[in-house]
Each structure stands twice: as structure tokens, then as C-alpha cells.
Structure 1
């Protein structure tokens, strides 16, 4: 992966992580760096899932891919928030 691919994954991960955090109701007990990490992982996994089901490359915006990524980020933020709250 080239440096531009890594940088774009980080930027997209930040956006996806923040959107995922906004979707989850209540207070999350995780920091911004964990939110970004969850967003990056959700963006990568969501892209792989979208490619697997054939909706990654569409004409116009890839709304289904974004929905998958944000849903994965929301699940990740909620799970990590609960794990951190138990500590």
C-alpha cells in the first residue's frame, strides 16, 4: 500500500469513527484515538465486505459501502465503550 493509500485510510477512518460514535447513543468511555482506530478498522473491513457483496464500485457515491462502514464503526465504538466502562 502506498503512502497516499495509508493517509486516505486514516482520513476516512477518522470520519467513519466520528460518525460511528455519533450514531451510538449515550456517553462512550473511549478517547479520540480509540475512536479513530475503530474507524480505520471499520473502514477497511467495511470496504472488504462491500467488495465481497459487489457494491463497492457503483456509479456515484457508494452509499451502501458507507452505511456498512458506519454501522461497523458504531458497533465497534459501542463494544469498546462497554469494555472500557467495565474497567
Structure 2
């Protein structure tokens, strides 16, 4: 099932929420920024999977890849914001 960009955007909404649940804490920008990072992470995961020719078929793999992408971007975001505040 190939959703394209719109599918990854919708999956990203859920991935952003899952990312926030997996990595709780106070983030600059709050919940909305985390959801946006989830969308960006999902798009990143879809793009990387396409480039590496990794099959991300099935909803479990799609949500898993999107959630990992969201968590990765959330970690990078927190590191950047922490370095900026110091």
C-alpha cells in the first residue's frame, strides 16, 4: 500500500503523538511542535526508506518508521534547543 506524501503526513500526525508519549518532557513549542516534528519525521522516514529501497509496506512498519523518524527529529530538536539555551 503506497500512500505517498499525503499518507505519510497523516501517519506523521499519529507518529508525533506517539513520539511525545515515548519521549515525555517539556519541549520548547509544546505539543504542536512535537506533532509537526512527527510529520517531518514521517516524511523523512518515507524518503529514507525510498532511497534505501527498504519496503515499508503494512501499517505496522509505516507507523514504526514514522515514529522512529519523529523520535530522531525530537532528539535533534531537543539537542539544538538545549545548546541554544546554554
For 1:22 and 1:71, locate their aligned partners in 2 and report how far apart those are by CA, in whole Å: 13
Number of positions where the alignment pairs a residue of Structure 1 with one of Structure 2:
78
Alignment correspondent of 1:80: 77
Instruction: Give the 3-state SS of the residue equivalent to 1:53 in structure 2.
Output: coil
Residues 11 and 66 in structure 2, CA contact (< 8 A), matched pair in contact too: no
Residues 8 and 39 in structure 2, CA contact (< 8 A), matched pair in contact too: no
CA displacement 1:49-84 (0-9 Å, x = unmatched): 223333133xxx332232221111112112223433
1:65 equivalent in alignment to 2:70? no
Residues 41 and 72 in structure 2, CA contact (< 8 A), matched pair in contact too: no
CA RMSD, aligned part only? 2.5
CA displacement 1:16-68 (0-9 Å, x = unmatched): 111112122x51323122112211111111112223333133xxx33223222
Alignment correspondent of 2:53: 53
What runs of 5+ residues in structure 1 fail to find an aligned partner?
A: none
1:28 equivalent in alignment to 2:26? yes
Shift of 1:7: 8.5
TM-score (norm 2): 0.66
Following TM superposition, where does structure 1 have runs of at least 4 consecutive aligned residues deviating by more than 6 angstroms? none
TM-score (norm 1): 0.65
